[in-house]
A = this chain, B = another copy of it.
Amino acid sequence: MTDQIDTRLPTVDARIYARGGLDILSRGEVAKLRDASTGIHDLLRGCALAVLTSGSASDDPRAARELYPDFDIEVQQQDRGVRIELRNAPAMAFVDGELIRGVADLLFAVVRDLAYTTIELREGGSRDLLSSEGITDAVFGLLRNARILYPTDPNLVVCWGGHSINREEYVYTKQVGYELGLRSLDICTGCGPGAMKGPMKGATIAHAKQRRRRTRYIGITEPGIIAAESPNPIVNNLVIMPDIEKRLEAFVRLGHGIIVFPGGVGTAEEILYLLGILLREENADLPFPLILTGPTSAAPYFEQIDRFLRLTLGEIATSRYEIIVADPAKVATRMAEGIARVREHRKAHRDSFFFNWSIDIPLAFQQPFVPSHEAMAALDLHHGRKPHELAADLRRAFSGIVAGNVKEDGMRRIEEFGPFEIHGDDDMMQSLDALLRAFVEQRRMKIAGEYKPCYRVVT
**Of the candidates B26, B76, B101, which one forms a contact with A210 in the assembled complex, judged by CB atoms under 8 Å apart?**
B101
Q: Determine if A164 is an interface residue (Cβ-Cβ < 8 Å).
A: no
Stretch at the interface among A40-48, A200-208, A377-385, A423-431: A200-208
How far is B208's CA from A103's CA once the two chains are assembled, in angstroms? 11
Stretch at the interface among A220-228, A274-282, A351-359, A436-444: A351-359
Q: How large is the interface on A (under 10, 10 to 19, 20 to 34, 35 or more residues)?
A: 35 or more
Contact B137 A79 (CB under 8 A): no
Q: Determine if A149 is an interface residue (Cβ-Cβ < 8 Å).
A: yes
Q: Determine if A449 is an interface residue (Cβ-Cβ < 8 Å).
A: no
Given A24-B151, A101-B210, A234-B209; A79-B353 close (CB under 8 Å): yes
Per the 8 Å Cβ criterion, residues 23-67 of A in contact with B are 24, 26-28
Contacts of A357 in B (CB 8 A): 27
Given A125-B126, A141-B26, A352-B79; A204-B211 close (CB under 8 Å): no
Contact B152 A100 (CB under 8 A): no
Q: Give 7 new A-B contacts, CB below 8 A, not counting A24-B354, A100-B210.
A: A21-B150, A21-B151, A26-B140, A77-B351, A79-B151, A81-B354, A101-B211
22 A-B contacts (beta carbon < 8 Å)? A21-B354, A24-B151, A26-B140, A26-B141, A27-B357, A77-B351, A77-B352, A80-B352, A80-B353, A81-B352, A96-B183, A96-B336, A100-B210, A101-B212, A102-B209, A102-B211, A125-B126, A126-B126, A201-B205, A204-B204, A209-B233, A213-B213
Given A336-B96, A347-B79, A350-B78; A102-B208 close (CB under 8 Å): yes
Contact A79 B351 (CB under 8 A): yes
Q: Determine if A105 is an interface residue (Cβ-Cβ < 8 Å).
A: yes
Contacts of A80 in B (CB 8 A): 151, 352-353
How far is B333's CA from A204's CA once the two chains are assembled, in angstroms? 25
Residue among A141, A150, A236 with the most chain B CB within 10 A? A150
Contacts of A18 in B (CB 8 A): 151
Contact A81 B333 (CB under 8 A): no
**Of the candidates B125, B140, B152, B183, which one forms a contact with A21 in the assembled complex, judged by CB atoms under 8 Å apart?**
B152
Contacts of A217 in B (CB 8 A): 208
Q: How many copies does the complex hold?
A: 4
Contacts of A28 in B (CB 8 A): 133, 137
Q: Determine if A446 is an interface residue (Cβ-Cβ < 8 Å).
A: no
Contact B137 A26 (CB under 8 A): yes
Contact B234 A205 (CB under 8 A): yes
Q: Determine if A407 is an interface residue (Cβ-Cβ < 8 Å).
A: no
How far is B28's CA from A127's CA once the two chains are assembled, in angstroms? 13
How far is B76's CA from A77's CA once the two chains are assembled, in angstroms? 38
Q: Determine if A346 is an interface residue (Cβ-Cβ < 8 Å).
A: yes
Given A151-B81, A204-B205, A234-B205; A105-B353 close (CB under 8 Å): no
Given A26-B137, A126-B125; A182-B76 close (CB under 8 Å): no
Q: Determine if A95 is an interface residue (Cβ-Cβ < 8 Å).
A: yes
Per the 8 Å Cβ criterion, residues 326-383 of A in contact with B are 333, 336, 343, 346-347, 350-354, 357
Q: Determine if A412 is an interface residue (Cβ-Cβ < 8 Å).
A: no
Contacts of A8 in B (CB 8 A): none
Contact A77 B350 (CB under 8 A): yes
Q: Determine if A144 is an interface residue (Cβ-Cβ < 8 Å).
A: yes
Kindly report which residue of chain B lies nearest to residue A94, judged by CB atoms: B182
Contacts of A103 in B (CB 8 A): 209
CB distance from A79 to the nearest CB of B (A): 5
In the complex, per-residue mask of A98-121: 1 if CB is within 8 Å of any chain B CB, else 0: 001111010000000000000000
Contacts of A141 in B (CB 8 A): 26
In the complex, per-residue mask of A147-188: 1 if CB is within 8 Å of any chain B CB, else 0: 001111000000000000000000000000000001100000
How far is B26's CA from A213's CA once the two chains are assembled, in angstroms? 28
Contacts of A333 in B (CB 8 A): 96
Kindly report which residue of chain B lies nearest to residue A76, judged by CB atoms: B350
Kindly report which residue of chain B lies nearest to residue A154, judged by CB atoms: B79
